[in-house]
């Protein structure tokens, strides 16, 4: 039974969009940035202490943590999108039930992933392209990281729900708390106790546990939700809607897993034929992927920050305001993309040096990675943000198509073809080519949605 909307959430329909986007996006960007920094902080300290083989090892483990994040966001972003749409139409009962179901699903998923990781450690490392030289480091890192996976999944998923409930600042604090602990404990574990990659993993897990506790604590007294025992009883229709609305976020992350896995395996296959070997490209590409993740944290964070605003107004039938939100999101992403592209093209070595001082050959390949592979980062930011926007307004099919396009449809085949033809250097050109093709599809889908929206004077709420 739908409830009457209260003034507590009506501000999403009345306050200036720029002010609202700033309020929601800044904490969201910081939260996602901190999540991205978990892995990159480990890689910086490992690179300074263990060297590029340690970085190669973390690059091999990284896809598994991204897989965990993908499942977390499938549930969390789907729950948050359904909550916003429900609040916009005044149906608080559905909103509370979808978050309750999300809490149960993230808890179960995290435990299953942890058990699966322990049982299949060796196949996982082999699948993600581990080399004999980096195997021991990768195995030591993975077996500790697995302990924190349930905490990581719950925090990553339910932070989206907290933001949609109107508390982006709390969500940011919960994530930042864990990151700060990780940043403090990393150098202590690595340089004071000399625990190497295991120390970095221990510091990460402690931070994840702290963030999880803070996230769980929020749901004792949420702002706009009223939990009942039935809210936590899994309901097929609710789980299906959560999955539909969260699938774009899932694909965005799972595509990273596919890309890294394919790239790593192509490096191992073709690297020996180049002057760089296999371990240098494996380490350098891993660094580039982590830095790429930081830029995407800004891009997606801005878009996810706009999700409650766009979703609420879409549910309330205010279509013009929905596309005003999109224009603000894209303007911010163009700024982020332009700054990033200039940085990567003009001074890549300044970034590379953060991860340790290596040979001239290593630095040469790392520079190529930044300048070529990330050459289309501006276009990529627009595509990623547009996919999240379509998800926010209840268009899971279009969002899914857009999410699949850049990484799975264009980038993965490009990496394979170019690696086989031109080796570990040629494969880097697959990314800017994929960015250009994905942008064309982005423009077509957004234009189609815009025309379809304003052809209709009135629609039923899209989540119904």
Q: What residue spans define the domains of the chain?
A: 15-455
Confidence (pLDDT) at 368: 93
Asked whether the beta carbons of 128 and 64 are under 8 A apart, the reply is yes
| pLDDT, position 184 | 92
Tell me: the pLDDT tens digits for 91-149? Answer: 788 888 999 999 999 999 999 999 999 999 999 999 888 888 888 999 999 999 999 99
The predicted structure's pLDDT at residue 460:
47
SS3 418: helix
Find tokens 């990314």 and name the residue.
431
pTM of structure: 0.73
Q: What pLDDT score does 381 carry?
A: 95
Find out whether 110 and 152 touch, Cβ atoms under 8 Å.
Answer: yes
Burial class (CB in 10 A: 0-12, 13-18, 19+), 143: middle
CA atoms within a 13 Å half-sphere pointing along the CA-CB vector of 220 = 6
Distance of alpha carbon 402 from alpha carbon 331, whole angstroms: 19
pLDDT at 230: 86
Rounded Cα gap, residues 302 and 29, in angstroms: 6
Tallying the residues shown for the chain, one arrives at 464
- Is residue 242 within 8 A of residue 78, CB to CB? The reply is yes
Divide the 464 residues of the chain into consecutive groups of 10 and give the mean pLDDT of each group: 46 83 83 71 78 78 89 92 82 86 96 96 90 88 96 93 86 88 90 89 94 94 84 91 85 82 89 84 85 88 86 81 91 95 92 78 91 95 92 82 88 95 93 96 91 61 41
C-alpha to C-alpha distance for 401 and 416, rounded to whole angstroms: 21
Q: Measured between alpha carbons, how far is 336 from 381 in angstroms, rounded to an integer?
A: 8
Q: What is each CA distance from 298 to 118, 336, 376, 435, 459, in whole angstroms?
A: 33, 7, 16, 17, 32
């Amino acid at each position: 039974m739908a409830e009457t909307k209260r003034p507590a959430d009506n501000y999403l329909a009345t306050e200036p969009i720029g002010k609202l986007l700033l309020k929601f996006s800044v904490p969201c960007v910081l939260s996602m940035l901190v999540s991205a920094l978990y892995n990159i902080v480990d890689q910086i300290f490992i690179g300074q202490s263990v060297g590029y083989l340690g970085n190669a090892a973390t690059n091999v483990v990284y896809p598994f943590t991204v897989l965990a994040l993908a499942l977390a966001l499938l549930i969390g972003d789907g729950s948050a999108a359904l909550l916003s749409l429900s609040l916009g139409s005044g149906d608080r009962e559905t909103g509370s039930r979808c978050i309750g179901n999300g809490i149960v699903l993230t808890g179960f998923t995290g435990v299953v992933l942890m058990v699966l990781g322990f049982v299949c450690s060796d196949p996982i490392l082999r699948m993600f392209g581990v080399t004999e030289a980096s195997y021991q480091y990768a195995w030591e890192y993975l077996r500790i990281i697995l302990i924190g996976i349930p905490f990581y999944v719950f925090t990553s998923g339910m932070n989206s729900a907290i933001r949609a409930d109107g508390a982006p600042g709390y969500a940011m604090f919960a994530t930042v708390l864990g990151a700060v602990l990780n940043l403090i404990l990393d150098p202590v574990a690595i340089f004071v106790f000399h625990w190497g990659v295991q120390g970095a993993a221990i510091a990460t897990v402690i931070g994840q546990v702290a963030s999880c506790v803070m996230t769980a604590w929020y749901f004792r007294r949420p702002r706009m939700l009223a939990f009942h025992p039935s809210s936590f009883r899994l309901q097929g229709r609710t789980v299906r809607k959560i999955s539909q609305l969260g699938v774009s976020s899932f694909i965005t992350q799972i595509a990273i897993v596919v890309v890294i896995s394919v790239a790593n395996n192509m490096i191992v296959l073709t690297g020996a034929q180049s002057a760089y070997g296999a371990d240098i490209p494996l380490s350098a590409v891993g660094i580039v992927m982590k830095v790429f993740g930081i830029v995407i944290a800004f891009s997606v964070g801005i878009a996810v920050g706009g999700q409650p605003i766009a979703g609420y107004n879409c549910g309330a039938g205010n279509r013009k305001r929905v596309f005003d939100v999109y224009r603000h999101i894209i303007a911010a992403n163009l700024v982020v993309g332009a700054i990033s592209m200039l940085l990567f093209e003009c001074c890549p070595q300044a970034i590379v040096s953060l991860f340790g001082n290596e040979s001239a050959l290593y630095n040469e390949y790392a520079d190529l990675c930044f300048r070529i592979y990330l050459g289309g980062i501006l276009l990529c930011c627009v595509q990623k943000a547009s996919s999240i926007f379509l998800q926010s307004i209840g268009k899971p099919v279009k969002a899914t198509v857009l999410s699949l396009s850049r990484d799975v449809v264009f980038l993965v085949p490009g990496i394979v073809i170019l690696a086989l033809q031109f080796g570990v250097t040629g494969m880097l050109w697959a990314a800017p080519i994929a960015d250009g093709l994905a942008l064309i599809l982005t423009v077509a889908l957004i234009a189609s949605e815009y025309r379809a929206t304003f052809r209709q004077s009135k629609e039923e709420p899209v989540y119904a």
